């Protein structure tokens, strides 16, 4: 018998559990002028607005829906420090000085999130109890061990986990190798986005919700942002839409691949089911084997996510795969329904690195979090604000690299589908 009623499936869990209300929108007037206009009201755009406004720069956020509507309010809420590339990979790619600078930038991203939450009292269920990266296969386990050694050498508070310790922390014996990164944690992502919006507005930034930018034009040294409500003129524009860029800057579209990140969630678990599931509270990312990430929220719900279809459309089969993965790890969930199902688009880049770059005079783009958007997008927003105020940050490669354009862009979907299939087979036969 099911522990909970299998009712109609609901949408995004975070919308029903966020403590903060949707921030009030400023009234948009045709012909407005601003020093910096930020397109996109996610973590990156809101962080940029907050840091600009605190520095005294006249700025606004122009959001097609509401703050946190896109991936920022649809992700798993895992606050993960660092980039997808390890320190030795960054050093090999950019040299010792610039590679280490980029590593340090990534290493401090989670600190920034929790500092902002504390400073502004953002009600978003913050928990800084660490994050676990787990795996089953021997080759991936060896990579985790090397990663722990690299991070520890640089002073990061990380811990190598052996099977018994993994079982103790997660409640499942599925994994054999793991890393606990004590710098990390979790938040209620929509609550965090709304808190950033409130902080930015209090600092003086204007937030224009439900104001979609239809086109960008150059006119007499200023940028004109055409919206359905009228035009806005700005000296500098920050494109902070990430995977929701659409056709706003056609040349940038080819630099990223949008992919759906799907999630499902239970209602709060009863004690006899939930007591053995993630008892220590750390969020977990499975490296390679199942390709999922999962956590509990403050009320005890179990939330699991993973990559979905390539492109923009949802597919029910991906939600079903997540439910099966949850029950494989935790058989007690067999008696529990997963009524919440939702997805959001994230942006992948060819080299797995983000960008905060100048596209043109007065045009800055920040994109490519590659699945680490809570912490990384917040830091990228601060970096974009620094660029707007004249800092070039030449020591950070993500500010000087050109867009990582995908070759044969028209074939990107079938090519990535083929890569996915190959990785699935490799995972199956790599377990030892």
Residue 44 corresponds to which tokens in the numbers above?
Answer: 């990156």
This prediction's pTM: 0.92
Instruction: Reduce the DSSP state of residue 21 to 3 states and report it.
Output: coil
Q: Which of 51, 377, 383 is nearest to 187 (CA)?
A: 377
Name the one residue in this structure whose structure tokens are 């660029």: 387
Comparison of pLDDT for 72 and 419, the residue scoring more: 72
Q: How far apart are CA 242 and CA 370, in angstroms?
A: 10
Q: How far apart are CA 100 and CA 79, in angstroms?
A: 21
- 365: which strand partners? 239, 357
Instruction: Give the pLDDT band (50/70/90) at residue 288.
Output: low
Residue 429 predicted with pLDDT over 70: no
Q: How far apart are CA 114 and CA 53, in angstroms?
A: 20
Average pLDDT over the chain reads: 91
Instruction: Reduce the DSSP state of residue 96 to 3 states and report it.
Output: helix
DSSP H helices, 214-315, are 250-253, 271-274
Task: Please tell me the chain's helix, strand, coil percentages from 3-state DSSP, rounded to the nearest 5.
Answer: 40, 25, 40
Name the one residue in this structure whose structure tokens are 């009600």: 123
CA atoms lying within 13 Å on the CB side of residue 403: 22
Please write the tens of the pLDDT for every residue from 382-399.
999 999 999 988 899 999
Residue 54 predicted with pLDDT over 90: yes
Please write the tens of the pLDDT for every residue from 162-218.
999 999 999 999 999 999 999 999 999 999 999 999 999 999 999 999 999 999 999
Query: Residues near 266 by Cβ (< 8 Å), separated by ≥ 6?
Result: 4, 301, 302, 303, 333, 336, 337, 338, 339, 340
Looking at residue 249, what is its pLDDT? 94
Overall average pLDDT of the 144-160 stretch: 97
Contact between residue 223 and residue 37 where contact means Cβ atoms under 8 Å apart: yes
Looking at residue 308, what is its pLDDT? 81
Looking at residue 309, what is its pLDDT? 73
Residue 428 predicted with pLDDT over 90: no
DSSP 326-353: HHHH-GGGGG----EEEEEEEEE-TTS-
Q: How far apart are CA 302 and CA 280, in angstroms?
A: 13
Contact between residue 42 and residue 339 where contact means Cβ atoms under 8 Å apart: no
DSSP H helices, 245-315, are 250-253, 271-274
Looking at residue 311, what is its pLDDT? 55
Contact between residue 76 and residue 264 where contact means Cβ atoms under 8 Å apart: no
Looking at residue 4, what is its pLDDT? 34
Please write the tens of the pLDDT for every residue from 70-103.
999 999 999 999 999 999 999 999 999 999 999 9
CA distance to 75, 423, 426, 427, per residue, from 139 (Å):
28, 14, 11, 10
Instruction: Give the pLDDT band (50/70/90) at residue 6.
Output: very low
Task: Please give the CATH topology (third level) of the domain spanning 13-415.
Answer: FAD/NAD(P)-binding domain (3.50.50)
Length of the chain: 432
Q: How far apart are CA 259 and CA 371, in angstroms?
A: 10
Overall average pLDDT of the 272-282 stretch: 96
Looking at residue 2, what is its pLDDT? 33
Residue 263 predicted with pLDDT over 50: yes
DSSP tag of 10: B
Q: How far apart are CA 60 and CA 49, in angstroms?
A: 7
Name the one residue in this structure whose structure tokens are 């390890």: 86
Comparison of pLDDT for 309 and 57, the residue scoring more: 57
Overall average pLDDT of the 130-149 stretch: 95
Looking at residue 7, what is its pLDDT? 34
Residue 5 corresponds to which tokens in the numbers above?
Answer: 């009623």
């Amino acid at each position: 018998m099911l522990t909970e009623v299998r009712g109609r499936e609901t949408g995004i869990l975070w919308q029903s559990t966020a403590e903060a209300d949707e921030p009030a929108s400023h009234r948009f007037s045709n012909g407005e002028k601003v020093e910096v206009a930020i397109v996109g009201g996610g973590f990156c755009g809101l962080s940029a607005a907050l840091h600009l406004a605190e520095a005294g720069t006249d700025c606004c956020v122009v959001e097609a829906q509401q703050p946190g509507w896109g991936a920022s309010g649809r992700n798993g809420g895992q606050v993960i420090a660092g980039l997808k590339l390890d320190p030795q990979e960054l050093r090999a790619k950019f040299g010792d000085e610039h590679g280490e600078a980029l590593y340090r930038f990534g290493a401090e991203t989670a600190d920034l999130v929790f500092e902002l939450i504390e400073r502004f009292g953002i009600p978003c269920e913050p928990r800084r109890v660490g994050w676990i990266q787990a795996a089953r296969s021997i080759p991936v386990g060896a990579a985790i061990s090397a990663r722990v050694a690299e991070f520890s050498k640089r002073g990061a508070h990380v811990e190598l986990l052996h099977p018994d310790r993994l079982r103790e922390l997660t409640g499942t014996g599925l994994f054999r190798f793991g890393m606990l990164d004590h710098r990390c944690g979790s938040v209620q992502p929509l609550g965090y986005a709304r808190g950033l919006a409130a902080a930015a507005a209090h600092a003086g930034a204007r937030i224009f919700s439900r104001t979609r930018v239809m086109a960008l034009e150059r006119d007499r040294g200023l940028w004109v942002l055409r919206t359905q409500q009228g035009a806005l003129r700005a000296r500098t524009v920050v494109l902070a839409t990430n995977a929701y860029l659409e056709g706003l800057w056609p040349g940038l579209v080819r630099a990223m691949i949008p992919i759906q990140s799907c999630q499902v969630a239970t209602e709060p678990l009863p004690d006899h089911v939930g007591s053995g599931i993630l008892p220590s509270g750390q969020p977990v990312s499975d490296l390679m084997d199942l390709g999922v990430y999962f956590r509990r929220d403050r009320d005890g719900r179990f939330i699991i996510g993973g990559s979905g279809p390539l492109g923009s459309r949802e597919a029910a089969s991906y939600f079903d795969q997540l439910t099966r993965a949850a029950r494989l790890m935790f058989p007690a969930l067999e008696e529990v329904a997963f009524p919440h199902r939702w997805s959001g688009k994230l942006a992948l880049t060819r080299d797995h690195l983000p960008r905060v770059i100048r596209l043109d005079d007065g045009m800055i783009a920040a994109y490519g979090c590659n699945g680490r958007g809570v912490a990384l997008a917040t830091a990228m927003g601060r970096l974009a604000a620094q660029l707007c105020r004249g800092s070039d940050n030449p020591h950070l490669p993500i500010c000087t690299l050109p867009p990582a354009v995908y070759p044969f862009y028209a074939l990107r979907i079938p090519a990535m589908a083929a890569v996915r299939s190959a990785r699935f087979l490799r995972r199956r036969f790599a377990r030892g």
